[in-house]
Structure 1
Amino acid sequence: MLSKISFKVSALSIVILGASISTTCFAAGTQSANIAVTASVESACTIATTPLAFPAYTGSAVVDTTATLSITCTNAAPYVLALGAGTGTGATTAIRVLTSATTSSVLNYGLYSDAAHTSSWGDTSGTDTVAGTGNGEVQDVTVYGEIAANQLSAQVATDYTDTVAVTVTY
């Protein structure tokens, strides 16, 4: 019986000795590294508009109104605002055309970038557009509209409409 016990003790000693060797071979350590972190902010703009609604036109006097373009662009991003000619037949950015849905009558009107109505607002960059620089906040830009007097000879009493494309380039 002694020999069996001594055999078991010997086997146990080998297992303990093996565990001891394992522990010393895999000692803990630390290493460190850095993660390069980058980000890129791209220029971006959004735009919202209010309607440009003229008051009732009698023909005897000029009729004026305004609309607002609310533009939000990335801080320091340059932008250009352009207004298309509209959907009226024969319209240009110098003379836009309001049309009637029920008759062939039209009313000519203009859109301007200034309250004095001297700068027609169009879509040729650097010529008749409006430039600005974003600040990350909403910036309101006024569109000035005008219907000239004395256009009643060819008009019928009805509602007139047009749709003008607003484009922001940034």
Structure 2
Amino acid sequence: MTKTILATIFAATALSLTSSAAFAQTAAANMDVSMTVAAECTLATDPVAFGNQALIDVAVEVPGNMTVQCTANAPYQIQLGVGNGALATVETRFMTGVANGGLATYTVHQGLATGPIWGATLGTNTLDGTATGGADVIPFTAVLAANQSVQADTYADVLIATINY
């Protein structure tokens, strides 16, 4: 019986040696791999809260950030609308009193309060940038104008930030 087992092992070993010799040649083929990346951007903004005010005799500055994330190296422009205040422009935006309809004047600047006013005219008062592919933080400063005489009320406005890419 031991001879039979040894003969079987020997035969299996010989067969495996001869079968590996049958694969002595090879052939190759290219496997194509592809992908299309579409340009895409997202935009998020910090809210602006000027807080509780009484007599507005000095300007009140509130810093904030927009966060942009776009496909790497995508150029973009960010517009900032004039808001909902009656007769608002980018140079003079208005928060409107909820109860009395009064107006409170403010501006929004790119970067610091001394930076350019942020507007909606592409190529003129918008912000231009090129995406890194990560989250890019863009600072702004909202400024409540000094020397305003406004009635007691809660004031609000909504600005629409739009990214073009």
TM class by shorter chain equals 0.7 to 0.9
Q: Name stretches of at least 5 consecutive residues in structure 2 with no aligned partner.
A: 1-25
C-alpha root-mean-square deviation of aligned residues, in Å?
1.7
Q: Which residue of 2 aligns with 1:109?
A: 106
- After superposition, residues 37-116 of structure 1 pair within 5 angstroms as 37-57=33-53, 58-116=55-113
Structure 1: unaligned runs, 5 residues or longer? 1-29
Partner residue in 1 for 2:4: none
Partners of 2:113 and 2:60 in 1: CA distance: 13
Task: Tell me which structure has the larger Cα radius of gyration.
Answer: 1
Residues matched between the structures, number: 139
Shift of 1:34: 4.3
Q: Is the 8 A contact 1:45 1:71 kept in 2?
A: yes
Deviation at 1:32, TM superposition (A): 7.0
Q: Percent of pairs identical after alignment?
A: 33
TM-score using structure 1 length: 0.75
Q: CA deviation at 1:105?
A: 0.8
1:140 aligns with 2:137: yes
CA distance in 2, matches of 1:64, 1:32: 67
Contact 2:76 2:130 in 1 (8 A): yes
Distance 1:76 1:118, change over 3 A: closer
Pick one of 137, 162, 166 that aligns with 2:161: 166
Runs of at least 4 residues off by over 6 Å:
none
